[in-house]
Chains A and B, each alone.
Chain A
Amino acid sequence: EVHLLESGGGLVQSGGSLRLSCAASGFTFGSYAMSWVRQPPGKGLEWVSSISGSGGSTYYADSVKGRFTISRDESENTVYLQMNSLRADDTALYYCAKGAIFGVAGALDPWGQGTLVTVSS
């Protein structure tokens, strides 16, 4: 069974940094794209970033480009989201999701339970 466990969320001041982790199990991690999607309080889902199975291709939402970096460690079966220059509008529940084999444009399935990031201004 596929399992995704996010961690690393917390309370941080505006301008600060956090690194989110998503530990994956139950599938051949290196073959699948991975994505981060967030949900601000009271709002809908917003895609943040995706990385291909090889790690050679990365994609970012305009709202986080230049501030966030997605990466993956095949030896740890973990995908990371390094978040710098955090702003109040980055406050959200951050979900990790397994993507399609190799490419990033396939179904996001399954999703983890999420980790909460709160940025105080």
Chain B
Amino acid sequence: QSVLTQPPSASGTPGQRVTISCSGSSSNIGSNYVYWYQHLPGTAPKLLIYRNNQRPSGVPDRFSGSKSDTSASLAISGLRSEDEAAYYCAAWDDSLSGHWVFGGGTKLTVL
């Protein structure tokens, strides 16, 4: 069971807007930045969003992140077929001696 909770699946049609939620607690999302990673089968995971809502260079502005209290969300607008992938949220957790926690991942299907 993952510390951060994500829906296992999401779907949308091309052009639609989809959001993926990520729920945590005060020791992780509530007190640290949230990161989002995109993972296509057979490839290395790719950083999509850092520090809650910042996009690395090269990531389209169709992708956006937000955070509120102990929850975060990733929004993808203008959905494209190449967006079909697994998406993971992650945050540093201050409990114990500190560790990374990941969500269980959301498999996005573009219908």
Interface string of A68-97 (1 = CB under 8 A from B): 000000000000000000000000000101
Interface string of A96-110 (1 = CB under 8 A from B): 010000001111111
In the assembled complex, B63 has its CB within 8 A of some CB on chain A: no
User: For A44, A62, A97, A105, which residue has the most chain B Cβ atoms within 10 angstroms?
Assistant: A44
Residue of B nearest to A109 (CB): B47
A-B contacts counted at CB < 8 A amount to 66
Looking at chain B, what size class is its interface with the partner chain?
20 to 34
Name the contact of B45 in the complex, choosing from A59, A61, A95 (C-beta under 8 A).
A95
A108 in contact with B90 given A45-B37, A61-B99 (CB within 8 Å): yes
A111 and B99: CB pair below 8 A?
A: no
B99 and A108: CB pair below 8 A?
A: no
Name the contact of B101 in the complex, choosing from A47, A97, A104, A113 (C-beta under 8 A).
A47
* Chain A contacts for B33, CB-based, 8 A: 105
